[in-house]
Amino acid sequence: MTEMDFAHCVVIITGAGRGIGRAHAELLASRGAAVVVGDLGAAIDGSGVDGDDPAREVADAITAAGGRAVACSADVSTEQGAVALVDAALSTFGRLDAVINNAGIVRTAPFDQVPDEEYQRHLDVHYFGTLRLCRAAWPHLVNSPAGRVVNTISQAMLGNPGMSHYGGSKGAVFGLTRNLALEGLEAGIKVNAIAPGAGTRMAEASADSLSPEVMEYMRTQLRPEHVAPVAAYLVSAACTVTGEVFNLAGGGVNRLAVLNTVGIHDPALTVETVADRFDEIMAITPDAVPQIVAPAEVPAAS
Ligand SMILES: NC(=O)c1ccc[n+]([C@@H]2O[C@H](COP(=O)([O-])OP(=O)(O)OC[C@H]3O[C@@H](n4cnc5c(N)ncnc54)[C@H](O)[C@@H]3O)[C@@H](O)[C@H]2O)c1
C-alpha cells in the first residue's frame, strides 16, 4: 500500500503535550498533517496545572522536525477552551478537518470515597470536554471533505477497581460517540472511539488498581506509539466506519462491539419464564448481532 498522506488534514489533538496525545500529534505531523497541540499542562488528577507548558514543547519539537504545529494551552473542560482550540486551527491553518479528543485525568479510589466534585471534574474533562470541542468544531467538520472525530474512552467503563468516577465518565463519552456518529451521517463525518492501553504517567497513577506484573508489562511493552496508528487511520479519509470502538495496546488492535443476543420473545412473559429461559437470554449464539450505527461504507473504486 502507498504511504498514507495527511497533507490536507488540519487536526486538533487535546492532551497532546504528553503520553498518547503526543504520539498522535507526532505521527500525524510526520505524515504532513497540520496539528493544533492542545494541552493545559494539567496535574494527573486534574486538580490543578503542573506549571510546565507541554503543548509548547511538543509543538516546538514538531516544527523543529519540519512539521506544522501550533500550541494551545486551553482547558478543554470549558466552553472558552473549546472555542480557543478551534480558533487556533482556523487562525493558524485556515480550516479544520478532524478532532482527537484525548485529554484525560485519573485518580483511583473506591466509589463511595470520591466526592461529587471529583465525579464532576471527570465528567467536565472527558464528557463535556469532548462534547464542547465537537460542538465548536462541528460546522468546520461539516465543511471538510472528510470530517473526523476520534474520542478516547477506556476499558475502565466496563469495570476497573477504584475507577467508578473515571470509568463512568468514559462510558458517557462512549454514548456520546455513538450518538454523534448518527448525527454526522448526513455530512459524512465519521465519529469513532479508541480505548487505549499504554505505559504513560496516567497508567502509573492507576498502579493501585493493577497488578505489579501488569504495570511492568505496560511500562515496557505498551508504548503510546502503538496507539497512534489507529487514531491516525480513523482520522484519515480512508476510514469507512463510524460509531465504532477499538481496543489498542502494544500493537494489538481489536473491535469492541455491543452485541444483542437473540434472547427470547414471549408476549405472556412471566417472572418464571425469565427464570426458566435465562440461559437463552444470555446465550451468545452465531446469529447474535453487533449493534451498529451504520454499515461500513464500501470504499470508492480507484
Ligand atoms: N494510558 C492508558 O493506559 C490509558 C488507558 C485508557 C484510557 N486512556 C486515555 O487516554 C488518554 C490519554 O492518556 P495518557 O495515558 O496519555 O495520559 P497523560 O496523563 O500522559 O496525558 C493526558 C494529557 O491530558 C492533559 N489534560 C488533562 N486535562 C486537561 C484539560 N482540562 N485541558 C487540556 N488538557 C488536559 C494533561 O495535561 C496531559 O498532558 C486519556 O483520555 C486517558 O483517559 C489511557
Tens of pLDDT, residues 183-201: 999 999 999 999 999 999 9
pLDDT class of 57 with cuts at 50, 70, 90: very high
Ligand 1 neighbour 198 (Cβ under 6 A): yes
Which residue's alpha carbon is nearest to atom 43 within ligand 1? 104
Hey, CA dihedral for 89, 91, 92, 94, is it positive or negative?
Answer: positive
Atom of ligand 1 nearest to the CA of 17: 39
Identify which of 200, 214, 216 to mutate to test ligand 1's pocket (most ligand atoms within 8 A of the CB).
Answer: 200
Ligand 1 nearest atom to the CA of residue 42, by list position: 37
Q: Which residues are catalytic?
A: 166
Contact predicate 161/209, CB 8 Å: yes
Question: Is it the case that residue 301 has pLDDT exceeding 80?
Answer: no
pLDDT reading at 93 higher than 60 = yes
When pLDDT is averaged across residues 33-40 and rounded to a whole number, the result is 98
Cα distance between residue 1 and residue 89, in whole Å: 30
Q: What are phi and psi of 124, to 5 degrees?
A: -60, -45
CB count within 10 Å of CB 202 equals: 20
Contact 138, 95 (CB under 8 A): no
Q: Which residues contact 234 (CB under 8 A, 6 or more apart)?
A: 148, 150, 190, 192, 194, 246
Ligand 1 geometric centre to CA of 14 (Å) = 9
Cβ atoms within 10 A of the Cβ of 288, count?
13
Q: Which of 158, 181, 182 is nearest to 168 (CA)?
A: 158
State pLDDT tens for residues 256-296: 999 999 999 999 999 999 999 999 999 999 999 999 999 99
The closest of 45, 44, 64 to 56, measured between CA atoms, is 64
Distance (Å, whole) CA 158 – CA 168: 9
**Quick check: CB of 42 below 6 Å from ligand 1?**
yes
Distances (CA, A) of 212 to 166, 183, 217, 218: 21, 42, 9, 10
Mean pLDDT of the chain: 95
Relative to the CA of 18, which ligand 1 atom is closest?
39
| pLDDT confidence of residue 207 | 80
- How far does the centroid of ligand 1 lie from the alpha carbon of residue 3, in Å? 29
What pLDDT sits at residue 302?
55
Q: Confidence class of residue 210 from pLDDT cuts 50, 70 and 90?
A: confident
- Per-residue pLDDT of 95-118, as tens digits, reads 999 999 999 999 999 999 999 999
Cα(285) to ligand 1 centroid in Å equals 37
In the chain, the domains with their CATH numbers are: 10-256 (3.40.50.720), 260-290 (no CATH)
Which ligand 1 atom sits closest to the C-alpha of 76?
A: 32
Q: Is 39 in the pocket of ligand 1 (CB under 6 A)?
A: yes
> Is the minimum distance from the CB of 67 to ligand 1 under 6 angstroms?
no
Task: Return the higher-pLDDT residue of 161 and 279.
Answer: 279
Which three cell numbers mark 81?
477552551
> Is the pLDDT reported for residue 41 higher than 80?
yes
CA 102 to ligand 1 center in whole angstroms? 6
